[in-house]
Amino acid sequence: MAGAAAPAAAQRRVPVVGFLTSAGEESLAQFREAMGAIGHVEGTSYRIELRSARGQPDRLPALARELTALPVDVIYATGPPALAAAYAVAGTVPIVAFDLESDPVASGFLQSLAQPC
């Protein structure tokens, strides 16, 4: 039928996760596995934009700026250097951090654990 609207599933935009890491891609594999375990399928329920500094943390600020320019719906930062780079440029983009090395409140990234925003 001419002029008919496309099905809702075809119109749905897939959220984009900006994945920022100073390490290699092993943390990305863990992220994909965890997302799959809770029923999310890459390419269907989310899409990843990977930016890896590949062991060169001084590259993280530029990589974080690339992600915010795309734009992405959320930045997933692994480790303190990636979190710091994302925090510096994210603006209104939410950040999810995997950081087992530092205290996010003491580092100034959160006001409190009870109310992170």
Number of H helices, E strands in the chain: 4, 4
Q: Is residue 19 part of a domain?
A: yes
Q: Quote the CA–CA distance of 82 and 78 in Å, as a whole number.
A: 6
Residue 56 is assigned to a structural domain of this protein:
no
In a domain, residue 39? The reply is yes
pLDDT in tens, 55-106: 899 999 999 999 999 989 999 999 889 999 999 998 899 999 876 677 777 7
Query: What was the pLDDT predicted at 108?
Result: 73
* Ramachandran region, residue 39 (left: φ > 0; alpha: ψ -120 to 50; beta: rest): left
Strands annotated E in the chain = 16-21, 47-52, 74-78, 95-98
We report the CATH number of the domain holding residue 104 as 3.40.50.2300
Residue 24 lies in a domain: yes
d(CA 117, CA 41): 28
Tell me if 3 is assigned to some domain: no
What number of CA atoms fall less than 13 Å from residue 104's CA on the CB side?
A: 22
Is residue 42 a part of any domain in this protein?
Answer: yes
Looking at residue 84, what is its pLDDT? Answer: 92
- Total domain count, the chain: 1
Q: Which domain holds residue 102?
A: 14-51+62-117
Q: Which tens digits make up the pLDDT trace of 14-65?
A: 999 999 999 877 789 999 999 999 999 999 999 999 999 998 999 999 999 9
Write down the pTM of the prediction: 0.81
74 phi/psi in degrees, rounded to 5: -155, 150
On whether residue 6 sits in a domain, the answer given is no
Confidence of residue 112 (pLDDT cuts 50, 70, 90): confident
**How confident is the model at residue 10, as a pLDDT?**
57
Q: Report yes or no on 84 lying in a domain.
A: yes
pLDDT at 6 (0 to 100)? 53
